[in-house]
Amino acid sequence: MKIAFFDTKPYDIHWFDGICREHGHEVKFFDYKLSEDTAILARGYDAVCIFVNDTANSAVIDILANNGVKLIALRCSGYNNIDFSAAYGKIHVVRVPSYSPSAISEYAAALLLAVNRKIPRAVGRTRNGNFNINGLIGVNLSGRTAGIIGTGKIGRLFAGICRGFNMKVIAYDPYPDVSSGIEYTTLDRLISSSDVISLHCPLTSDTHHIINKQRIQRMKDGVYIINTSRGALIDTTALIDGLKMKKIAGAGLDVYEEEEKYFFEDFSEEVITDDELMLLLSFPNVIVSSHQAFFFFF
């Protein structure tokens, strides 16, 4: 096959180039994200391989199909950037249904521990020779309630980690796994009774802003929110308000609602003009990482 890779990073080339050529595929790597402006670059290719911030809406799919593309392969598990209705009957779509669930669940736990125990602040201090521990107090997770929204493979593994911390685990999922041993409850009860809320669900029209102003108001005071799924599961404005009011004790975010422009890129020498992202980065009780929970080595 002739394959066009979009939104290519150096590690993509490192891992995919040799494997594709070994199997007889011709590969072209593009730095550009797939969009209505760049889809024409796939002319003459059999397949395109895309990532989380590429766009495959109806217009893009029409351009791809009209130029001979027969397959869209997502190198991720999320699929919210694909218009399946538009693709139906024109282009096959495949994804990675189980993308490193252990890595992502472990990373979610790492975010929780780091934000609760103020680990990044502590490291920043000691690197500057400051060994004062004022302001670094956390809370015991043992005995507290972890509320998990979404119990696919990642959510179930995160539930196991929380049980290892001696936490009570409750979960909400419209399709509960009754064989998992997890205590399922309503979303309203989970929101109001959890000390930690961790998101492990796909982004759909039903889950968009599943964490919003009204639900944050019903949360326990001092709740921790963890998101390693998709940024738009959380209403960023409402999250910031909850942090300002100290309703939310901390947030660990590996994704961001408007991440497309910034994540996976280096802006260290530029001014970030996204005011909400800058606000989140300014909070001492918020950790923002650059969508790296999936990133691991076997």
Catalytic residues: 230, 259, 291
Distance set, CA 79 to CA 16, 100, 147 (Å): 21, 16, 24
- Asked whether the CA dihedral 262, 267, 270, 275 is positive or negative, the reply is positive
Residue 148 CA: distances (Å) to CA of 83, 192, 275, 279, 291: 28, 13, 29, 26, 19
Question: E-strand spans in 238-291?
Answer: 248-253, 286-288
Which of 202, 198, 215, 200 minimizes the C-alpha distance to 145? 198
Alpha-carbon distance of 264 to 259, in angstroms, equals 9
Beta-strand runs (E) in the chain: 2-5, 26-29, 47-50, 71-74, 92-94, 145-149, 168-172, 183-184, 196-199, 223-227, 248-253, 286-288
In sign, the C-alpha dihedral spanning 32, 35, 41, 43 is: positive
Vertex 137: Cα angle to 133 and 139 (nearest 5): 160
Q: How far, in Å, CA of 161 to CA of 57, rounded?
A: 37
Q: Would you say 131 and 119 are in contact if contact means Cβ atoms under 8 Å apart?
A: no
